[in-house]
Chain A
Amino acid sequence: MEKLFLRGSEALALGAIDASVKFYAGYPITPQNDIPEFLSRELPKVGGKFVQAESEVAAINMLLGASACGLRVMTSSSSPGISLMQEGISYLSGSELPAVIVNVMRWGPGLGGIGASQGDYHQATKGGGHGDYFVPVFAPYSAQEMYDLIIRAFDVADKYRTPTMLLVDVMISLMKEKVIRRFEKRSEVKIKSWAFGKVKEGEQKIIKSLYLKGNDLERHNWKLYEKYKVMCEKEVIYESYLCDDAEIVLIGFGMVARIGKSAIDIARERNVKAGLFRPISLVPFPEKELEAISKKCKKFLVVEMNTGQMVHDIQRVLGKDIDISFYGKPSSYAPTPEELFYKIKEQI
């Protein structure tokens, strides 16, 4: 177990290499450029291929091809680039091809800006592309989680044959901190029996998302849904911090949760009984776990760097009888711990 001092983006790229990523295709866009910069340098050294494609559309389609051959594949981009990739993400889902997509979020809609934002929660968790599908989404809140969750994203992608996404805050990507490297060497990836070149001789293999005959498509869509139901049982991750005796629980993901934790520490020092609930998997959403907390705690404060997106999921899970307030920061200026402590105090 190696102890390193890395930027979040470097931790993520290193995690991808430790997870045996073999193929990366992407296109320059701020603020995610240091992920491809790291991989363009390091991936060829371990026998992987890095491609700067002519566009995000080309990049995601290169992923479709490389994934069909059974490689572990990934791309990274920032919000407008992820919008362009939505077509490919829908096709990856429909074709049941594993791939990992990293979105280091910036402002939108449109060109928006390049500052910190959580404006893509809806796009990431509710589809983005056309059709009936779910993409598992993970939200890291430290450099360590950038490393850990990219590895998990590859594992989940392979296990369910689905694209997975890391929804990353730019501050987590640029912040430098301690990272413990779990793997001393690259992980072994199982041979995918369904991939091109791996299928038995004489057998035909078609990878497709088109189903025209009878009720084939209906069966296919129910199959995708069944996989999602299994994910809901097995792939939920979250963190609950000092919620047991809490009178108010702050909910946030990624960077907001990181700041929120400091706000909870300030509150506890002043004998304010506050806790933090942090979904790490945004899809599948930790519904049961949140419900369990609401049995004891009746006050929730949702904080996001947008005008209110995850809060809709919280309202859906907790229902109307629970007191849910929202504090949004749709600007590049993240809330401070003191600011969030003040918001907590306002509510009790």
Chain B
Amino acid sequence: MKDYPVYNTYQTPSWCPGCGNFGIWYALKNAFHELGLNNHDITMVFGIGCSGNLSNFLKVYGFHSIHGRTLPVATGIKLANHKLNVLATSGDGDGLGIGLGHFIHTCRRNIDITYIIHDNRVYGLTTGQTSPTSPKGFSSKSTPFGVIELPVNPVALAIISGATFVARGYSGEIDHLASLIVQGMKHKGFSVIDVLQPCVTFNPSYSYAFYNPRVYKLEDTAHNPQDYENAIKLAMEFNDKIPIGIFYKTERETYEQACIELGENPLSEDDIENISIEDIIDDLLA
């Protein structure tokens, strides 16, 4: 792993020492470098939560959006200018709690956006409430008697909802995560990367000490990412062994490719000077 300060801003990250967000930050910079992207080649939409603070630390076109709404905002950007490399990032609370509906619909659309979930299984910025990926029984400030609900499984959900690139990364494996981001960004269609991101302050039971002995890489196994059924089977595995890598990858027409209104040129570059609506008016008056 190397650092590429060209993507830094003047601000130093304010995350807690040891936060898994540092790993994602470095992996993103490595991925951008490997893809040969300049700062102005990258458009990123950020959510609310500790992950949203990333908007201050990455020198790219950044949109700090509403809680839970990163994907609709990113979709708007991609449809207005499909030449842009669009990424969205948010936490598990943002993307899988309040934003869960948007997540499923963006998977259905298969729009060419790369979505990174900072999955720390807790609300960190509000100092430790349960999140949609907190395990059953998890005790927190809002669930002192333990969580009743089952956790959301973002990997399985993405696969069955129609995302065409579904992977899981780990903040403790930065080079591996960077490679997933590179492949996700190269992929044409909606790519989802769920990142195991330790929150050492508010969810210490899921720290590096928990993940390090458990994670293993799918590319070291016989798994074929085209194998839908095995991908779902692997997505359900989260115990002594936790798979990271690409679960599922397929090709399907992207949303913007299927839009008859969108041509080679993005809408934002369309010339509206010479548009005439006279024919339409004539039709209406006929």
Contacts and interface: CB of A to CB of B under 8 A. Distances in A.
B is bound to A = yes
Contacts of B201: none
Interface in A25-47: 27-30, 33, 36-37, 40-41, 44
Contacts of B141: 33, 36-37, 40
Contact of B98 (A30, A55, A111): A55
- Please classify the interface of chain B as helix (H, G, I), strand (E, B), loop, or mixed, using the class held by over half of its residues: loop
A244 interface: no
B97 A54 contact: yes
Contacts of A80: 66-67
B123 interface: yes
A29 B126 contact: yes
A36 B98 contact: no
Interface in A81-119: 111
B68 A55 contact: yes
Given A27-B98, A36-B142, A37-B142, A111 B48 contact: yes
B198 interface: no
B144 interface: yes
Given A54-B98, A54-B100, A28 B129 contact: yes
Nearest to B152: A54
A234 B143 CA distance: 40
Contacts of B68: 55
A52 interface: yes
Nearest to B97: A54
A111 B129 contact: no
Interface in B230-269: none
Residue in B100, B126, B142 with the greatest tally of chain A CB atoms within 10 Å: B142
Interface in B65-113: 66-68, 93, 97-98, 100
B98 A28 contact: no
Contacts of B127: 33
Contacts of A57: 98
Nearest to A58: B98
B6 interface: no
A43 to B, nearest CB: 10
Contacts of B125: 30
Contact of B130 (A30, A44, A52, A111): A52
B63 to A, nearest CB: 12
Contact of B123 (A28, A40, A44): A28
B100 A30 contact: no
From A27, A30, A41, name the one whose CB has the most chain B CB atoms within 10 angstroms: A27
Contact of B93 (A28, A37, A56): A28
Majority secondary structure of chain A interface residues (helix, strand, loop or mixed): mixed
A57 B142 CA distance: 18
A50 B130 CA distance: 13
B142 A28 contact: yes
A228 B129 CA distance: 38
A44 B148 CA distance: 14
B67 A44 contact: no
B144 A33 contact: no
A27 B125 CA distance: 13
B184 interface: no
Interface string A118-145: 0000000000000000000000000000
A52 B143 contact: yes
B53 to A, nearest CB: 12
Contact of A33 (B48, B66, B93, B129): B129
A57 B66 CA distance: 14
Interface string B12-23: 000000000000
A115 to B, nearest CB: 15
Residue with the highest number of chain A CB atoms closer than 10 Å, among B100, B123, B141: B141
Contacts of A28: 93, 123, 126, 129, 142
A78 B134 CA distance: 24
Contacts of B10: none
Contacts of B98: 27, 54-57
A270 to B, nearest CB: 44
A52 B48 contact: no
Nearest to B130: A52
Q: Which of A52, A56, A80 has the most CB of B within 10 A?
A: A52
Nearest to A27: B98
Nearest to A50: B142
A40 B93 CA distance: 18
B144 A41 contact: yes
Interface string A281-308: 0000000000000000000000000000
Nearest to A52: B142
A111 B125 CA distance: 14
B94 to A, nearest CB: 10
Nearest to A44: B145
Contact of A40 (B67, B97, B132, B142): B142
Contacts of B144: 40-41
A243 B130 CA distance: 50
A44 B146 CA distance: 12
Contacts of A30: 125-126
10 contacts: A27-B97, A29-B126, A33-B141, A37-B141, A40-B141, A40-B143, A50-B142, A52-B142, A55-B97, A111-B66
Given A36-B141, A52-B143, A80-B67, 5 more contacts: A28-B93, A33-B141, A40-B143, A54-B100, A57-B98
A-B residue pairs, 4 tightest by C-beta:
A55-B98, A28-B126, A28-B129, A52-B142
